[in-house]
Chains A and B, each alone.
Chain A
Amino acid sequence: NAGVTQTPKFRVLKTGQSMTLLCAQDMNHEYMYWYRQDPGMGLRLIHYSVGEGTTAKGEVPDGYNVSRLKKQNFLLGLESAAPSQTSVYFCASRRNTYNEQFFGPGTRLTVL
């Protein structure tokens, strides 16, 4: 099993550009999450999904959109990137609310 994978690993964008971050998991997990981590901080939840076709807002959803068209994939979109979105983005998945979350390796995004 590959676990949770994220694409790309690094990206540099100019202000106003758009991009999509892809998260994939091969563990048949229902729950998937997108977090961001800023320097010296813990992770903050952006959006999450409790199953295929469902999404919901987390703590810091503004400026991001998500989609979960397939159970194994969770996409995070930035329609018009801003410097404040410079961060490391982590995806995670979970079988249910009792068990542990499995995290991907992260995507380091810089917006100039």
Chain B
Amino acid sequence: DAKTTQPNSMESNEEEPVHLPCNHSTISGTDYIHWYRQLPSQGPEYVIHGLTSNVNNRMASLAIAEDRKSSTLILHRATLRDAAVYYCILSRSDRGSTLGRLYFGRGTQLTVWP
């Protein structure tokens, strides 16, 4: 299964934009790019996902490179509540052996300073 590479940690100040990068050079055509985050002592929470086009929702934006080998999660105005571990995950959408499983790496620990 295709793997992703993320920085171990990033920092931001409150109310500033945050760009969280993810490299996935071995991505296949049927892989969706998913982002989840995990707040302390909680289960992972879905943030956003996309296939080829950039995506926006109420939580964040996802910018996908034209060759799909990298993507960036954008938090437009970081708040203290956004401090979490952010996971970039490739999820195969076909009904093959992976069956939509999510493979979690160590993610990026985002620290937000007041």
Contacts and interface: CB of A to CB of B under 8 A. Distances in A.
Interface stretch (A11-19, A77-85, A96-104): A96-104
Interface of B: 32, 34, 36, 41-46, 49, 87, 91-95, 99-107
B45 A97 contact: no
B99 A106 contact: no
B100 to A, nearest CB: 3
B104 A42 contact: yes
A89 B60 CA distance: 27
Interface of A: 4, 31, 33, 35, 40-45, 48, 50, 56, 58, 90, 92, 94, 96-98, 100-106
Contacts of B49: 100
B46 A102 contact: yes
Main SS class of interface, B: loop
A97 B105 contact: no
Given A97-B94, A98-B32, A100-B49, A105 B43 contact: yes
B87 A42 contact: yes
B56 to A, nearest CB: 15
Contact of A106 (B42, B94, B106): B42
Contacts of B92: 97
A106 B39 CA distance: 12
Contacts of B46: 100-102
Nearest to A94: B100
A41 B92 CA distance: 22
Nearest to A103: B43
B34 A100 contact: yes
A43 B43 CA distance: 10
Given A97-B93, A100-B46, A31 B100 contact: yes
5 contacts: A33-B102, A97-B91, A97-B100, A101-B102, A106-B41
A40 B105 CA distance: 10
Contacts of B34: 100
